[in-house]
Amino acid sequence: MRKAQIKRETRETRVTVELELDGSGNGRVNTGILFFDHMLTTFAVHGFFDLVVDAEGDLSHHIIEDTAITLGKAFRAAIAENRAKTKRYGFAVVPMDESIASCAVDIGSISGEGRSYTVLKLNLARSRVEDIDTEIIPHFFNSFAAHAHITLHICADGENEHHKIEAIFKALGIALDSATKIEERRT
């Protein structure tokens, strides 16, 4: 079973993430931040990951950052099994009404040696969407990629911040679903 459970506790936050790569898209996410819960649930649905996230802490910035770190660590642990047959690359382009997001990932070489890189062109125009500050969004992806040891490229454009960010999380889920597929032709 390609899955992992990671708990992380600091003076600021307590975060638990359970991630199963070969799931059915069942997300149960409770961070106390409604828009972030919506995004992580969407990520699980479109990635066909089973994802349980429980997070609490002092400030929403800390909760989102530490959830990104914990999710990254869980992802890295989950792909360790059968890594030699894991596909590695994945990409997706997802429209959402007037917005569009594209995501390409490289989840790393067979050896799993820790490289990570993040390139983000998110075109976020407003500082606030629902109950989060949008400056945390690039921070989330940087932290996630660094701890998952993956290369992540994301571009987005559109008019509506909610749509743009939601298209990004869907694209990330679909790209990671492809990249984590088992490729039986790999020997």
Footprint of Mn ion on this chain (CB under 5 A)? 166
Query: What element of type H or E holds 129?
Result: strand 128-129
What is the sign, positive or negative, of the torsion defined by CA atoms of 35, 175, 75, 12? negative
* CB of residue 165 to Mn ion, shortest distance in Å: 9
Distance of closest approach, residue 128 Cβ to Mn ion, in angstroms: 16
Residue 18 vs 133, nearer CB to Mn ion = 133
Nearer to Mn ion, 150 or 167 (CB): 167
Nearer to Mn ion, 110 or 125 (CB): 125
* CB of 130 vs Mn ion, minimal distance in Å: 9
SS3 call for 171: helix
